[in-house]
Structure 1
Amino acid sequence: MTMRLRRRTAVAALAATLLLATPVATAQALSGPAPAPATPASATLELPRPTGPYTVGAEVLHLTDHDRTDPWVPEAGDRELMVSLYFPARHGRPGVTAPYMSTGEARLVLAGVGLEDTVQPTALSTLGTHARTGARTAPGHFPLVLLSPGFGNPRATVTSLAEDLASRGYVVASVDHAYESVGTELPDGRLLTCVACEKMESAPSDEAREELGRLVSTGRAADLSFVLDRLTGHRPAWKNSRMIDPCRVAVAGHSIGGSAAASAMLADPRFDAGINMDGTFQERVPASGLGERPFMMLGTMGLHSPGGGDESWDEGWQRLDGWKRWLGVEGSGHSSFTDVPVLEDRMGVTLDPTVTLSTDRQVRITRDYVGAFLDEHLSGRHQLLLDGPTPGNPEVVFQQP
């Protein structure tokens, strides 16, 4: 599948979740059959609750890499990144609930899909989360997980997974890659759009799009290494960096963010493990593999089944030289591993009628298998869930055992 189609799928999925205030006739025109009735305005719209024992704290960092010029907008100067940190926190201090995204970001997302006149930005920006700002860190040292979202998607779309991992005892950094999201707001009020998406759409050939895909993947790898530097280096940018164990670090991502996870491992040996959630490998796994480090491929059936059409997965599987799993999820869709199913459910719309899994199952499978992988490889706790099929998860198929 080409990057153009991948990007359209991701943006369409995000658009379909934002129809809370859209009249039925408009919704029918955009998505076919009329959606289920929207959730009543009086109902609480929130992400699923985290499942771990820890309270979750949250903080946002604005980082600037002064050694790199932004690849998409060189005149903007140095590469800037927004990073949301989620971490295990102490109980007993309520704090303020972290926003899902800013109103400015929500407005840009709506404008990007042509819904700015029919949907209020607060329908998205006020979605309830479970992380608290101003929270005190839990005692101890915890593994670090870096998350990279899909192409065009803001980092907010991996919030549910990030919160859950933090509740289980991980520090999580989700990254907005500048000019690769439809909406990113910087602390000074600047609002960045997806210039990389525009370049991808206007590319003159499939070869040019493939080259841009490689640039996105390798550029994100550099972003992720820089974030790791700023969180664990000699002069860390985060005041609570002491809670991070720099010897236990993983990287994961959705769609092209999953490709970036592999690219980051290729470029930086500090990443101990990685996960690709339904993303074509834009930078091919080399014949030498990933240095015997563990890697998991978690995706849809069909395209990302053996011989299903994405040759990068077949090739990548053969070249992975360490512990590895290739898991397919029956009844899932490309966005099943993000917050999109939750947003669809909460806002009463249906995007892809081929997705047969309930929202709860999509959320649980993603959280449980990503969490099990990290527990196995960063926390040293063997996970029977990863040994093979289990009766409680009949949808999860172990490919190429």
Structure 2
Amino acid sequence: MRQLLAAVAGLVILAASACSAPTPPRADAPQVKPTGPITLPTPTGPHPIGTTTLHLTDTSRPDPWNPDIDARELKVTLWYPTRQRDGQRSLYMTAKEAELLLKDSGLSTAPYDTLSRTRTNAVKDAAPSGRKLPLVVLSPGFTKPMSTLTSLAEDLASRGYVVAGIDHTYESYATTLSDGRIAECLACDSNTDPGFGTGLVQGRAADVSFVLDELPSKWDGSGLIDRSRIAMVGQSIGGAAAIATMVKDPRIRAGIDMDGTGYARIPKSGLSRPFMFLGSREHVPGGRDTSWDRDWKLLTGWKRWLVLTDAEHQSFTDIPLLASVLGLEPLPGMLPAARGSELTRTYVAAFLDRHLKSRTQPLLEGPSSRHPEVTFCSATCRS
């Protein structure tokens, strides 16, 4: 798979993309001195947030990337409402995870502990609170750790969701396992193989189903979850995995693909559960990536196809928000990082509120003067 410099909502970062057409290289992007640690955006919901980590091992299948391991170990980060407002904030990522992510992404000019000093809003191991809460599964992009979707996860938890974010082992630059070892990206060695993307999303679908099986017995707070209200949201290859999981697992009631190429194939009979595409300009109808054109025809239930003006592939993640601490200055013409985060959180929450909480969402019915960057598409687009 090609290595490239991708311009993403005001920052350039070396990234491997297995799921979306790449942005042309920008090797001449200027670099600036890191400004120090930053705090992720304040969540918009009324609830304080807790977070905890689970390590789950699936002994029913070997790891697809490491031939020396006969079981699949997964790291799952949970975010949820809590009554506890004070306490130790969780790490965004460890210093070692940050070092490997930056080094393997080609950002060798930024101090390697930079991301580990980013401040989150969630209290570590706080007691969960609430009842009958919907569950949202999050799946990150290829090579990216789950932490790059933290601001979205925190926002959803503050709005009354339990969020389960999965680090798909050996598919990101750094995943800390239960014994403290760091699993690096073994899948990166196979990314030019025929059928790589298809196999990747099928493996992620199996990961998600296993996590759903295990949560009731492995997390003390699982009694909060209403297991009849589960959705999946993914970015990049994680978005493609949302479709793959819905095709295989009927427990997923609704799904969102954030800028991911459709490697999963929807059966000819169609997929009737609610689904939303939320993407960059690469995904306009008839654009550079035509997989959404194909899949749109096979989505037979409630559906939306939204494109954000001037968004890039990482605009739906935390990465643009961290531009200043990575020592990279914005590129002109890109969707500002804070606005990209706001739009992502607003439209993802609207979709989930509609389909998991049965709340009317006029925002999803057509273009909005408050959100002029959002274009509604089908065979064509309108804004």
TM-score by length of 1: 0.87
Show the counterpart of 1:328: 307
Structure 1 residue ranges without an equivalent (≥5): 19-29
| Match 1:32 to one of 15, 20, 28 | 28
Q: Deviations over 1:66-93 (max 9, x none)?
A: 101001112122001001100011144x
The alignment status of 1:120 with 2:111, answered yes or no, reads: yes
1:95–1:134 CA contact under 8 A, matched in 2: no
CA contact (8 A) 2:10 2:337 kept: no
Alignment RMSD = 2.3
| CA distance, structure 1, for counterparts of residue 87 and residue 94 of structure 2 | 18
Match of 1:293 in 2: 273
Contact 2:13–2:105 (CA<8 Å) still a contact in 1? no
Aligned partner of 1:309 among 288, 291, 296: 288
Q: How many residue pairs get matched?
A: 369
Q: Which amino acid aligns with 2:376?
A: F
- The within-5 A match list for 1:159-308 is 159-201=150-192, 203=193, 208=194, 211-232=195-216, 236-290=217-271, 292-301=272-281, 303-308=282-287
Partner of 2:360: 382
Q: Name the SS for the 2:204 alignment partner.
A: helix
Q: Quick one: which amino acid aligns to residue 286 of structure 2?
A: G
Structure 2 vs 1, CA of residues 285 and 397 (structure 1 numbering), >3 Å: closer, same or farther? same
TM-score if structure 2 supplies the norm length?
Answer: 0.91
**Secondary structure, counterpart of 1:371 in structure 2:** helix
User: What is the CA distance between 1:38 and its match in structure 2?
Assistant: 3.2
Aligned to 1:22: none
Alignment of 1:77-156 (within 5 A): 77-92=70-85, 94-115=86-107, 118-156=109-147
Query: Match for 1:62 among 25, 32, 55?
Result: 55
Indicate the residue corresponding to 1:349 in structure 2. 328
Deviation of residue 348 (structure 1)?
A: 4.5
Instruction: Provide, for residues 43-98 of structure 1, a one-character-per-residue CA deviation record: whole Å limited to 9, x for no partner.
Output: x5111111100000000010100101001112122001001100011144x12100
Q: Distance in 1 between matches of 2:7 and 2:377?
A: 28
Q: CA deviation at 1:106?
A: 1.4
What residue identity is the alignment partner of 1:296?
M
How far, CA to CA, are the matches of 1:345 and 1:310 in structure 2?
30
Letter of the structure 1 residue corresponding to residue 30 of structure 2: A
SS at match of 1:326: strand
Alignment-derived partner of residue 20 in structure 2: none
Moved over 3 A (4+): 7-18, 35-38, 113-116, 345-348
2:65 is the counterpart of 1:72: yes
User: Is 1:394 the counterpart of 2:356 in the alignment?
Assistant: no
1:75 aligns to what SS in structure 2? Answer: coil
Report the 3-state secondary structure (helix = DSSP H, G, I; strand = E; otherwise coil) of the residue aligned with 2:119: coil
**Partner of 1:227: helix, strand, or coil?**
helix
**1:210-261 Cα deviation digits (max 9, x unpaired):** x0110000100000111111114xxx21011001110100001000000000
SS at match of 2:240: helix
Distance 1:76 1:120 in 2: 33
Amino acid at match of 2:373: E
SS at match of 2:283: coil
Do the aligned residues in 2 keep the contact of 1:60 with 1:82 (CA within 8 Å)? Answer: yes
Higher relative contact order (CA 8 A, sep 6+): 2
Q: Partner of 1:375: helix, strand, or coil?
A: helix
Aligned to 2:40: 47
Task: Classify the secondary structure of the residue corresponding to 2:301.
Answer: coil
Q: Secondary structure at the match of 2:91?
A: coil
In structure 2, the residue matched to 1:340 is 319
Identity %: 47
The amino acid of 1:304's aligned partner reads: H
Residue 309 of structure 1 deviates from its aligned partner by 2.5
Structure 2 CA distance for partners of 1:384 and 1:14, relative to 1, 3 Å:
closer
